Chains A and B, each alone.
Chain A
């Protein structure tokens, strides 16, 4: 009988263990809250913040400390994948939401991810909260992330697209740093900067495999998305999509861009290609500023200058579809007011204090922020600050239409243009196919 009792206990224990596995994350978080409680008069509320940055490197501890000091009734518990991999964070958030875990404040790396999840009711509408604190969204922030007039996020880290240029290579070729330029001039630069042969060849530029690099020339246009502003028609018959493919085709044929086959076949990476001087220019985003002088342990060997993203027509306004990160409140959060206090404080104050990212607030002193961004750089003297500040100042943000099924469209554009970039399909067929497929996906989702 006793043996049986032991067995039964083991059995119950086993089930309890299984049940506990599912709740680990949540109970850890609440325990932490409890142990911190009782310091103030009221028990402080603990909110969870999900992000993907390295907390040591990016000064997060100081930010959280400052916030908790100002707001003693709130404790912030950060949960990060810690590896700068926003996709991993996104998957972790999805799974936590699906399994009923505790979510309060969620950061996402771009509006497409936000939009996709807003469609499934994941995020709390913020209009009431914004009104309550009297926050003027247009005046405070450079970008508008509202969806049909409703705000689901406040803009956090600001990323614009720009061009990084190897200044040593420019000097060698006798070229100036462009203050503003067109894609045609960009291609001339790329051709002039190409040097050498074989495995030692330095290409004029490198295009990463991302879908963005297949619609480059579209970025300067009001109707730049895959979908026309009416939300129902494919935009891939846009002349600028053809222009974008022409840029890529010339890059392949004239040999000034790293061949696409090498990029995807050998799994190349834009950081290593640029910093190892295998490509002299890089169309990339302002998230690269802190690394422009190299990363700790491997300082850059050459000076990097910056130019705004090229326009398709000379004199057009310089606009870039920014990948502005979002910070939102989970619709099932139990502490929405406290969560809003945090995101409001973070986007307007905390991010400035942190000094690691370019904030999306209006009136930012770029010179100051750039200097702070380069504090940990092993070779800040290798960054041409004047051209960088100029670039940041002249670039305006433009917001193409983003739809909830954006990832599906990204995948369509990427897969169908792969055939073209690898030379197994001609341009007209590719454009026709992309246009058709995009329209099909739009129809399926409407």
Chain B
């Protein structure tokens, strides 16, 4: 009873109030709808970025608290210029970027084959997708065994082929990064493959039929129809690849810890080492601001570059 009365009362109150203009109402509703995201991103992303920016000009150490930091100007940034480990990590990151087109190329090749020329399509899809959903740690352990410098199956095979001094893979300053790239291509292949398969199936058959009528061969069709038709997908995968390669961290922590002699250290790993092992929080903040700007520049280049080669 009491409840009913209350409801009645409230509704009369509502009726009495002057109606808000439809437009204001919509604006408010809109703001309310996006507010969780805006608040979430500001608290978790935007504010921390600004904090990092401020901190990068100080000598802040995160276990000491904000109260005791002093401004040191550009010292953290000038330090980067002479920091050999930082430069090495950056170069490693750039090398890792080169692996993305390779990975995409292999994925496209496999996707074309699986799409048209094999039976049990879905089985192959699952097989190639497995590495992508497996735990990085498990993958790392398996590859450690495969790449064992003395008794690993890969090196035994190479020695059987007659190579007397095969690379020592992860324990080799010249090969460690290549090994990481191989593992990364292998794990990322499934994702690229699935996306490419979907894209291939969306290409209208008529185009190929028309090309057949004109007497185009396989290579011609692939170059003139398939590749241009899937450029939006390639662009998407390329962007994802760049993001993924700058985030590469777990594999490196588990496999090499950035070693031997920083051969596999990447920017993110180096930031971690500086921030949490050496407790140089301010320097680490400066490094991450550099990473942010670097990624921004890369994205801008990509964004303008795509107009030249992506066909929608």
Question: Which A residues touch B65, using CB under 8 A?
Answer: 98
Q: How far is the CA of A94 from the CA of B262 in the complex (A)?
A: 25
Judged by a CB distance under 8 angstroms, whether A313 is at the interface is no
Instruction: With both chains docked as a complex, state the minimum distance between the C-beta of B155 and any C-beta of chain A, in angstroms.
Output: 10
Instruction: Give the residues from 1 to 55 in chain A that come closer than 8 angstroms, CB to CB, to chain B.
Output: 1-2, 4, 7, 11, 14-15, 18
Assess whether A259 is in contact with B149, with CB atoms less than 8 Å apart.
Answer: yes
Assess whether A11 is in contact with B32, with CB atoms less than 8 Å apart.
Answer: yes
In the complex formed, the residue of B with least CB distance to A1 is: B14
Assess whether A408 is in contact with B278, with CB atoms less than 8 Å apart.
Answer: yes
Judged by a CB distance under 8 angstroms, whether B261 is at the interface is yes
Q: How far is the CA of A15 from the CA of B36 in the complex (A)?
A: 9
Assess whether A120 is in contact with B169, with CB atoms less than 8 Å apart.
Answer: no
Residues on A facing B (Cβ under 8 Å): 1-2, 4, 7, 11, 14-15, 18, 91, 94, 97-98, 116-117, 120-122, 198-199, 259-267, 405, 407-408, 411, 414-416, 418-419, 422, 424
Given A407-B277, A418-B261, answer yes or no on A14-B171 (Cβ-Cβ < 8 Å): no
Other-chain contact of B278, A91, A121, A407 (Cβ < 8 Å)? A407
Question: Which A residues touch B40, using CB under 8 A?
Answer: 18
Q: How far is the CA of A98 from the CA of B39 in the complex (A)?
A: 23
Can you list 18 A-B pairs, Cβ within 8 angstroms, ordered by A? Answer: A2-B14, A7-B32, A97-B63, A259-B150, A261-B168, A262-B150, A264-B259, A265-B168, A265-B171, A266-B149, A407-B278, A407-B279, A411-B278, A415-B260, A416-B261, A422-B171, A422-B172, A422-B260
Instruction: With both chains docked as a complex, state the minimum distance between the C-beta of B55 and any C-beta of chain A, in angstroms.
Output: 12
Residues on B facing A (Cβ under 8 Å): 10, 14, 17, 28, 32, 35-36, 39-40, 43, 61-65, 68, 141, 144-145, 147-152, 168-174, 255-256, 259-262, 273, 276-279
Closest 5 CB pairs of A and B: A265-B171, A261-B171, A418-B260, A261-B149, A265-B149
Question: Which B residues touch A94, using CB under 8 A?
Answer: 62-63, 276, 279
In the complex formed, the residue of A with least CB distance to B147 is: A265
Given A11-B35, A411-B273, answer yes or no on A265-B170 (Cβ-Cβ < 8 Å): yes
Looking at B14, B150, B170, the one whose CB has the most chain A CB atoms below 10 A away is: B150
Question: Which A residues touch B279, using CB under 8 A?
Answer: 94, 116-117, 120, 407
Assess whether B152 is in contact with A266, with CB atoms less than 8 Å apart.
Answer: yes
Question: Which A residues touch B61, using CB under 8 A?
Answer: 120
Assess whether A120 is in contact with B63, with CB atoms less than 8 Å apart.
Answer: yes
Instruction: With both chains docked as a complex, state the minimum distance between the C-beta of A417 and any C-beta of chain B, in angstroms.
Output: 9
In the complex formed, the residue of B with least CB distance to A19 is: B43
Given A11-B32, A262-B149, A265-B148, answer yes or no on A98-B62 (Cβ-Cβ < 8 Å): yes
Instruction: With both chains docked as a complex, state the minimum distance between the C-beta of B58 and any C-beta of chain A, in angstroms.
Output: 14
Assess whether A266 is in contact with B64, with CB atoms less than 8 Å apart.
Answer: no
Assess whether B168 is in contact with A199, with CB atoms less than 8 Å apart.
Answer: no
Instruction: With both chains docked as a complex, state the minimum distance between the C-beta of A368 and any C-beta of chain B, in angstroms.
Output: 39
Given A11-B35, A261-B168, A416-B261, answer yes or no on A267-B152 (Cβ-Cβ < 8 Å): no
Q: How far is the CA of A121 from the CA of B65 in the complex (A)?
A: 10
In the complex formed, the residue of A with least CB distance to B155 is: A265
Question: Which B residues touch A262, using CB under 8 A?
Answer: 148-150, 171
Q: How far is the CA of A15 from the CA of B40 in the complex (A)?
A: 9
In the complex formed, the residue of A with least CB distance to B145 is: A266
In the complex formed, the residue of B with least CB distance to A100 is: B65
In the complex formed, the residue of A with least CB distance to B255 is: A267
Q: How far is the CA of A259 from the CA of B168 in the complex (A)?
A: 11
Q: How far is the CA of A405 from the CA of B278 in the complex (A)?
A: 7
Q: How far is the CA of A407 from the CA of B68 in the complex (A)?
A: 23
Question: Which A residues touch B35, using CB under 8 A?
Answer: 11
Question: Which A residues touch B173, using CB under 8 A?
Answer: 418-419, 422, 424
Given A94-B62, A117-B63, answer yes or no on A14-B36 (Cβ-Cβ < 8 Å): yes
Q: How far is the CA of A36 from the CA of B61 in the complex (A)?
A: 36
Q: How far is the CA of A264 from the CA of B264 in the complex (A)?
A: 13
In the complex formed, the residue of B with least CB distance to A421 is: B260
Question: Which B residues touch A97, using CB under 8 A?
Answer: 63
